[in-house]
Chain A
Amino acid sequence: MALLSFEHVSKHYSQGRRDIVVLDDVSFEIDSGDFIGIWGMRRSGKSTLLRVAAGIEPPDQGKVLFDGMDITRMSAAKRARLLRGAIGLASMDRRFARNQRVVDHVALPLVSDGVSFRQATLAARRALDRVGARDCADAFASWLSPGEQVRVGIARTLIHEPGLLLIDEPALTPNPAERDELYKLLRALPSQLDTTLVIASEDTSALRGAKRMMSIADGQLHSTDRAGQLVKFPERRAVAAERPRR
């Protein structure tokens, strides 16, 4: 059974009178232990795809199955529990409390779950170590460089050691050497943590070594399977007639 599957998922936003299709009849499957690279230009639908996969945004149409469970039909509370455990989404919107220590920021999700402060802090330091940000642990968030903020954001997602780790645009690290080092650390995560890794980026070097590659453009997904062949998607359905559902 696939770890994550999208079945004819569509999503649109309204912008004034314009109807913008962000995901257009997207179907794919991801197996456990995979490393999937998703390439797309800005505003191609990458971030929405990951937010829908994480259960943060509901699709307008279609099903999203995680480990066989349809997350589009789950209650908000159950989806939130899933996001705090089995699925981790690291998006780089960098919401840090400026006067908070990095280690406390990373440990917070575990503390909120009732884990002791000491245990949570230890786990936070381990997570920071995994992304090469051990030296940032005792710094304040406001001291961090953009590259360090990216690492800290990923560490906070890693704290639960999720089975499915979704990383949205790690390329925001401006220094090329730092960026390459981060990419190498990320690539090692599936084997270190027994996790499934999905990286969405416009930077092709972030996706090197992926077992499977997809591209997204104007909400449509194109893909290669492991053997380098095109995944045979089911026939496209007429989505326009059924939309929108409010």
Chain B
Amino acid sequence: MRGPSPLKGAVLGLLLERPSYGYELASRLSGRLGPAWQIAPKSVYPLLDQLEKAGLAMSVVEPSPASPRQQRTVYYPTDQASAALALWMGTSVPKEPLRVELQAKIAVARTEDASQLLAMLDDYERECLELLQATSDEQPSVRSWRTLLMDLTLEAADAHLRAELEWVTLARRRIREYAAQAEPR
């Protein structure tokens, strides 16, 4: 299973846990990964299509249990799905660049762009704070493999946000210090 989105493997994992329809899978995925991933329900459908084309999922149109007149597309894992997930688990994790556009702007900013750079850092800090605010750890206190995995995902999001906030703090301080030294006396 190869593809640009790491979420494809995660969706396959969820299907193997329980066959389901797109919206429910998106909710489960969002709940599992946390708000930092900002998963929109519509983003799951292309992944399900890709899984189906790869022969790892099969879609069946079924009546909805809540209102049988309505139909919905339920996805089931195929016989190859389990082996594909195991293979994906074993693949190495690529290093992805962070905050690409912000870094690109920093790379070429001129001294006259310093105030805009500071404003961008403020905006980015606000985004991080909003994500932190949206992060909740309301989960059952029962210790299970599932809650352990959710703990680890939350801790990864925390570690990332903390590092980003520290970076913003230091970057802003250094730009201000430079600007203060460069000011004509």
Which A residues lie at the B interface, using CB under 8 A? 37, 39-41, 44, 180, 184, 202-205, 207-215, 217-218, 222-224, 228, 230
Smallest beta-carbon distance B102→chain A, Å: 16
Bound state CA distance, A213 and B132, in angstroms?
A: 8
Among the stretches B63-71, B78-86, B135-143, the one at the interface with A is: B135-143
- Report Cα–Cα, A224/B126, bound state, in Å: 7
Is there an interface contact between B155 and A205, defined as CB atoms closer than 8 Å? yes
A205 touches B158 (CB 8 A): yes
Q: Does any Cβ of A come within 8 Å of B162's Cβ?
A: yes
Cα A209 to Cα B133 in complex, Å, equals 6
8 residue pairs from A and B, CB less than 8 Å apart: A40-B169, A180-B137, A203-B162, A210-B132, A215-B129, A215-B169, A218-B173, A228-B134
The docked-state distance in angstroms from the alpha carbon of A151 to that of B136 is 22
> Hey, which bits of chain B sit against chain A, CB under 8 A?
122, 125-126, 129-130, 132-138, 151, 154-155, 158, 161-162, 165-166, 169, 172-173, 176
Give CA–CA (A39, B131) in the complex, Å. 13
Contact A37 B126 (CB under 8 A): no
Question: Contact: A222 with B162, CB < 8 Å?
Answer: no
Once A41-B166, A204-B161 are accepted as A-B contacts, the answer to whether A222 and B136 lie under 8 Å apart by CB is no
| Complex interface: chain B residues within 8 A of A224 (CB) | 126, 129-130, 133
Q: How far is the CB of A189 from chain B (nearest CB, A)?
A: 16
Residues of B within 8 A of A209 (CB): 135-138
In the bound complex, do residue A215 and residue B136 qualify as a contact, i.e. CB atoms below 8 Å apart?
A: no
Once the chains bind, are B165 and A204 in contact (CB under 8 Å)?
Answer: yes
The residue on B at minimum CB distance from A184 is: B137
Q: Is the CB of B158 within 8 A of A204?
A: yes
Q: Contact: B133 with A210, CB < 8 Å? A: yes
Q: Is the CB of A214 within 8 A of B173?
A: no
Given contacts A37-B133, A209-B136, 15 further A-B contacts (CB under 8 A): A202-B162, A204-B132, A204-B161, A208-B132, A208-B158, A209-B138, A211-B133, A213-B133, A214-B129, A215-B125, A215-B129, A215-B169, A217-B173, A218-B176, A222-B125
CB nearest to A230 among chain B residues:
B126
Q: How many angstroms between the C-alpha atoms of A169 and B137 in the bound complex? A: 19
Known contacts A39-B165, A215-B165, A217-B169; is-contact A207 B126 (Cβ 8 Å): no
